[in-house]
Structure 1
């Protein structure tokens, strides 16, 4: 009888994994998978990622490795694997242990974004027999705060603000049991050992706190609720007076307010398709812009979102929000707790003065928010999510990119402040940090920079900022570079926009792209914003731009579309611009200025005083919106453009047989000059159509179509097969989709931001790329050197 074959020789597998592998249930998954394959060994978090030391037969180890790499936990992402095979170290006992974290070295491991309440925790929250029934801080391996509570790396309970809440015996038992879904879940707690609520600064039970807040809202009060990344201001959306009071206190007169809503409310009051519903129910739980349902009454006061066809609706991201929402009937206004233009309030004690001015009552808790972060905002466009604000659930973003440039810092721009940090393995992008124009906003930005460097154990090695010297981030970068004697790259605004798209899509070398936004300082000193650039490894070339025109009043023109329209008319028709409008006696724009205002503004344009020239597509949107009577003065960014998009959608939904073409032709003087999109034919066609009483929705749609065709004309003229699209104008879903379609018809593939925002919050990533191309110069601050996009 033949002897049985020898058992397979055992080996030792040392596996280091980098990427999004901390705070996503990775180590518990490893333990369960290793046990399934009969392996023994250890797994531990490190400052770089996760380190595995496993032993067993080679086939079992290979099968384990294949399964782990191809099917990691849902929220995990493996970016790099370092694998070593060795002889067996020891014939130790079976099983896999989770070791204490390995510390030391630079912290390259990305921090997981906060994860919204999962369906299993929601079931427990509602189950009267469960010990976490009605517990506001319920979480597990699959959900709970991550970035908002982390203090240092690796991601362990003792490195988060949960370190203030030692686990009770029952929670410790769950934490130690591989068969429990809370096995090594770092943010778990329960009523016996977890954080507690406070009502107006005084301790209160969970049930009483929820009831007190609900009663205050029912009485028309404004309640500041401490959410995952900071405070939200809540108010009853059916109470018009309460909503108006909230707007006055916050300094937000017109911008639509977000809603925190139940699934039933969202589905009955909003139109949504399968992709939008999957996004809304997912672990990021963003504020999602959804179309209002035409079949249902709004169920909210007009003061919440005005006449906007969209509602910004999010689901509860925490147990506390869920409990309050259910008590309040399924919907509340939930907007950021800050004065307009200032950072989000996050600490009940430190921010007490501001909270008391904004709210009538404060429902807070004892879990410190370490990293304040606002809610993400997304909409559906081009068969996927389009990020309008990078926040809770989505940020920080980690783009894989091994580099020797660790410590390089991109400081972003002004209105949508952000920070990007290069580690040894990733480019990391912060949440949107808000407007940096205020002292508090600039301080928050600078504090975030320092915190990120400290958390990742990095010394600052290189600075990159926008080339506009008036931005607070640019001014701070110059001061810091001078003081620390660091190299500084000043990067042109639209160059950075397109580089960010290249970073996201991992495009190296050269590319062609269109960057359309509101304004950025151009190399010629004017305000750019309708640009097409040819990107090369060492810089860029401006190959096309919108024909420039003066903006009367300079910065004020960015908030007053009527001024953009006036400058356009004066540039087109000179001193006889009034005569050109004679056939349009009912044009509402004609009454936008007093006679004295017009006289002053005209003189400023003719004399070239405070009337900078601009090639901005954003300002062209403003001018058209003003001429159509949609908006003359705005209280928030892109107000006119949103109104124009909404009007265009009306035409799409109610097609007309009457064609109303508008054209934005692409022209140039000679082959050595950049192309120019000439808006004058479009303006002339628009005025002719208004004289013929063409419905405004048709004109709004024709304008969007003309822009899309103008992009396609450039692709055809340049013979490109791929075209990058970047800049805030592409937050307009209609413009983005029309542009993608027009390019496809010309055989050109569009590439646009999908993981990153397309607005200024992505600029720091592009700035990091620009800095890499000049890092070898190591120029001292103030020295002459070529920097891509720097005006020479």
Structure 2
């Protein structure tokens, strides 16, 4: 007997602002069911009534299908008494209660909207703000949840009758698309000069003409302003670099499509998929030798950061100027990206000659995400637009809400509740008031958006980090200090959904150790709650402290002294005449704190091989050393490993090997490869020894050094050859951008314990 039943259904996940209610309406209507669907602070609520077999089919289909951007995490069903209702409708949102609903990330323009954009017969032809429930702005325009138009920066644009009809028609793909608009009722583009005066004519045509003239163009995107120039124009690229005060760090490129990307770079299928995904990150790709790119775009770099257009405005700009363009963050180096119009004009008027802008406000500044591909999986370098604020879901429950304040460099923060960790967009280096303000405002916005009042606050052990100081200034919370490298390994565990124990290899620039020294080349036995240091790179003095980070030749002198390879005839010493003073600092030790940093070991070898004596951005020497290395070379420098309870890995052997190779006339590219291979072999050797004594076979690789693809590839292969199971990142970066996730899960594990 097919009785009439009524079910109350709750759906949680990314189900608001993605067309989930229209999908439910269509599904229920097709099955001739009655009831309703709506949004609330938890997600989507549904009541559905009809014959029991039809209701069963509805429940089954609900878990299998859905609109493209929906991510269903949980469906809860319970039976209730039938009411005799005969129709199915979409009801008003319910904003009462504690908010747990998820907000979708900003999403690249879908194919349906692109067809309208390019169709001369469509009323949205050439309109730079075309969007629907399957694409467009989300996180960057949301002020509050539930995700409805009044809670977004579109609230100031009243819908015209035609847009309103689409918005209220359940059969239309714009049904309840909160940013819906058209040329009659939506935002308008404008082209301004550097003084903020409107340039006459069509803004897109004028912007393309400005690029063709070699001007620097500021472009308002989804999460902030970018600076653009013709990527083939050396004068324009050099002018942008000079005005932005960005000496060497590569610029990203936006290209028309994947075919244009393939003209510049080598692309495999995984990279093509990532490049064209709805998230549209900057993808780091190996450049072709004949790529027509100005030298100042990515000086001396074997790779290019490439992305495809992700807004209608970008598509229209590249239709009018169909050549690769530089698209870099709209800021002066070390400042946050500009996202408020008045602030952008003030800060960027000395850089940009013209501004392609519009009047839709950006609520949350969000930089472009940067990703590479490792073994056909994403390896994030910067997790931001297109990914945030979608949570990292973990297998463990947080007993109390957690705020993790993150690190000092490449800062992100995180808020955690239930089994979700909301890792913020890239904030940047907390070295100035503007970035610190972005950090504190971001925490306040996430707290409001997800209605999380943290009771536990996790922070780094370094007392001078501004993120740590923020944590220590908070009242009525329990503070949890998390050692920097333990946070790296915990982040990798959370990324892979594993609790440990694991052998953790944390290689980075620096982090305060539990013994008061600067760590950075660590072998840990770790789980989510605790760790034990089982090995490390041999510590060497860091002459002048942070000065040595900016001047790798100083670190080279320290390693040369430490390994007994210091000779006056070495080229690195000839290039730096005051090396005797630095060597004296090393021997004296009073202004040269000890560090086991792997990042500084890379710096030392880079300086010895003549790659880089002074850097203009973090990690530059290591990046260029990787770029130099001959991929075909399979030899490696042997490295001694000593000690019993705590193993000591002698990085000086690698420096000595590079010096001896130079003496023998070996090409620097060969020496650079042998350094990488020797370090990878040393990691595998140490992990094999530790696996033998601990019985732990899983190895988590984390820290900024493991963004180095050559080192990562060689290390993973050698670990596998020894029967070990390597874990690498795929959801958050291995660099300090992933630290907040690690801090959060450590705090949660200690809270559970």
Report TM bin, short chain.
over 0.9
1:636, CA displacement in angstroms?
1.1
Match of 2:55 in 1: 61
Counterpart-to-counterpart distance in 1, 2:712 and 2:51? 53
Match of 2:688 in 1: 716
C-alpha contact 1:380 1:733 (8 A) present in aligned 2: no
Match of 2:286 in 1: 291
1:63, CA displacement in angstroms?
2.1
Counterpart-to-counterpart distance in 2, 1:21 and 1:94? 23
Q: In the superposition, relative to structure 1, how do residues 241 and 776 fare at CA in structure 2: closer, same or farther (>3 Å)?
A: same
Match of 1:181 in 2: 173
Match of 2:238 in 1: 244
Match of 1:592 in 2: 575
Match of 1:394 in 2: 387
CA deviation profile, 1:150-198 (whole Å, cap 9, x unmatched): 0011112221111111221111222222332222222221101111123
C-alpha contact 1:259 1:313 (8 A) present in aligned 2: yes
Match of 1:521 in 2: 512
Given candidates 541, 545, 562, the residue that maps to 1:550 is 541
Counterpart-to-counterpart distance in 2, 1:568 and 1:112? 49
1:221, CA displacement in angstroms?
1.5
Q: In the superposition, relative to structure 1, how do residues 354 and 496 fare at CA in structure 2: closer, same or farther (>3 Å)?
A: same
Matched, 1:698 2:670: yes
Matched, 1:508 2:499: yes
1:299, CA displacement in angstroms?
1.9
1:404, CA displacement in angstroms?
5.5
CA deviation profile, 1:5-51 (whole Å, cap 9, x unmatched): x4x11211212122222232222222222223332221112211111
Q: Which runs of 5+ in 2 are unaligned?
A: none
Match of 1:345 in 2: 338
Given candidates 732, 737, 740, the residue that maps to 1:761 is 737
Counterpart-to-counterpart distance in 2, 1:748 and 1:37? 52
Match of 1:10 in 2: 4
- For the residue of structure 1 that corresponds to 2:121, the secondary structure is coil
Counterpart-to-counterpart distance in 1, 2:350 and 2:185? 33
Match of 2:141 in 1: 149
Given candidates 125, 134, 139, the residue that maps to 1:133 is 125
Q: In the superposition, relative to structure 1, how do residues 591 and 60 fare at CA in structure 2: closer, same or farther (>3 Å)?
A: farther
1:202, CA displacement in angstroms?
5.5
Given candidates 586, 595, 611, the residue that maps to 1:605 is 586
Match of 1:786 in 2: none
Which region of structure 1 is more displaced relative to structure 2, 15-24 or 342-351? 15-24
Given candidates 311, 318, 321, the residue that maps to 2:314 is 321
CA deviation profile, 1:317-371 (whole Å, cap 9, x unmatched): 1011111112112321110001111111001123331021221222211111001
- For the residue of structure 2 that corresponds to 1:453, the secondary structure is helix
Q: In the superposition, relative to structure 1, how do residues 381 and 496 fare at CA in structure 2: closer, same or farther (>3 Å)?
A: same
Q: Which runs of 5+ in 1 are unaligned?
A: 1-5, 778-792
Counterpart-to-counterpart distance in 2, 1:508 and 1:403? 12
Match of 1:782 in 2: none
Q: In the superposition, relative to structure 1, how do residues 543 and 226 fare at CA in structure 2: closer, same or farther (>3 Å)?
A: same
CA deviation profile, 1:31-80 (whole Å, cap 9, x unmatched): 22222333222111221111121112222222222222133333322222
Counterpart-to-counterpart distance in 2, 1:599 and 1:689? 24
The within-5 A match list for 1:171-320 is 171-200=163-192, 201=196, 208-263=202-257, 264-294=259-289, 297-320=290-313
Counterpart-to-counterpart distance in 1, 2:153 and 2:198? 19
1:675, CA displacement in angstroms?
1.4
1:496, CA displacement in angstroms?
0.8
C-alpha contact 2:542 2:548 (8 A) present in aligned 1: yes
CA deviation profile, 1:383-424 (whole Å, cap 9, x unmatched): 211111111112124023574645421110111111100134
Matched, 1:101 2:93: yes
C-alpha contact 2:542 2:595 (8 A) present in aligned 1: yes
1:425, CA displacement in angstroms?
4.8
C-alpha contact 1:152 1:159 (8 A) present in aligned 2: yes
Q: In the superposition, relative to structure 1, how do residues 601 and 30 fare at CA in structure 2: closer, same or farther (>3 Å)?
A: same
1:486, CA displacement in angstroms?
2.2
CA deviation profile, 1:259-306 (whole Å, cap 9, x unmatched): 111113212221101111111111011111111123xx3222101111
Match of 2:705 in 1: 729
TM-score using structure 2 length: 0.95
Q: In the superposition, relative to structure 1, how do residues 306 and 92 fare at CA in structure 2: closer, same or farther (>3 Å)?
A: same
Counterpart-to-counterpart distance in 2, 1:692 and 1:615? 29
Counterpart-to-counterpart distance in 2, 1:134 and 1:620? 53
- For the residue of structure 2 that corresponds to 1:455, the secondary structure is helix
Q: In the superposition, relative to structure 1, how do residues 558 and 166 fare at CA in structure 2: closer, same or farther (>3 Å)?
A: same
Counterpart-to-counterpart distance in 2, 1:202 and 1:717? 68
CA deviation profile, 1:718-762 (whole Å, cap 9, x unmatched): 223211111111111222222221111111111111011111111
CA deviation profile, 1:101-160 (whole Å, cap 9, x unmatched): 221222222221100112221221111111111000111111101110000111122211
C-alpha contact 2:392 2:731 (8 A) present in aligned 1: no
Counterpart-to-counterpart distance in 2, 1:427 and 1:267? 36
1:509, CA displacement in angstroms?
5.2
C-alpha contact 1:397 1:430 (8 A) present in aligned 2: no
Q: CA RMSD in A?
A: 1.9
Counterpart-to-counterpart distance in 2, 1:633 and 1:539? 37
CA deviation profile, 1:479-511 (whole Å, cap 9, x unmatched): 22xxx2322112110111111122222222533
C-alpha contact 1:405 1:461 (8 A) present in aligned 2: no
Counterpart-to-counterpart distance in 1, 2:412 and 2:188? 32
C-alpha contact 2:251 2:328 (8 A) present in aligned 1: yes
Which region of structure 1 is more displaced relative to structure 2, 16-25 or 440-449? 16-25
- For the residue of structure 1 that corresponds to 2:210, the secondary structure is helix
Match of 1:788 in 2: none
